[in-house]
Amino acid sequence: MKNIGDMMKQFQDMQSRMQDMQSRLESLDIEGSSGAGLVTVTLNGKGAMKGIKLDPTVLSDDPEILEDLIIAAHADARQKMEGVVAEQMKELTGGIALPPGLNLGF
C-alpha cells in the first residue's frame, strides 16, 4: 500500500510542476522571422500569437509576398516554440521520454 501512496504523491508533485510550467510557457515571448527580418511574429509558449511586426518596405510590395513572409515567420516561431516546450518537458520529466501522442495540455 505504501507504493501506491508514494506514486500518488509523485503524481501530485508532477501535476504541480506541470501547472507551473504551463504558466511559464504562457509568459514566454518566442520570435520567428522571415525575409531577413522584414516580418517578425511573436508567439507565447503555447502557440498563441502575441504580436507581429512588419517592416514598412513590405507594405508596398505584392500582397502575396507579404502573406508568404507572414506564414514563414509564423512557421519559424512555431518551430522555436516547439523546441522550447520539448526542453521544458524534458526538464519536467527528468529526461524520461513520454509516449508519442501523449497530450499533456500543450
CA 69 from chain center: how many Å? Answer: 20
Question: Is position 56 within any domain?
Answer: yes
DSSP 101: T
pLDDT digits (tens, 9 = 90+) for 48-93: 999 999 999 999 878 999 999 999 999 999 999 999 988 888 887 7
Between CA 17 and CA 35 the distance in angstroms is 38
Number of domains in the chain: 1
Report helix, strand or coil for 45.
coil
Question: Is position 64 within any domain?
Answer: yes
Task: Please give the residue range of the domain that contains residue 7.
Answer: 2-92
pLDDT, residue 56, reads: 94
pLDDT, residue 101, reads: 61
Residue appearing with cell numbers 515571448:
29
Residue appearing with cell numbers 529526461:
95
Residue appearing with cell numbers 508596398:
60
Question: Is position 50 within any domain?
Answer: yes
Decide which of 102 and 8 is more confident.
8
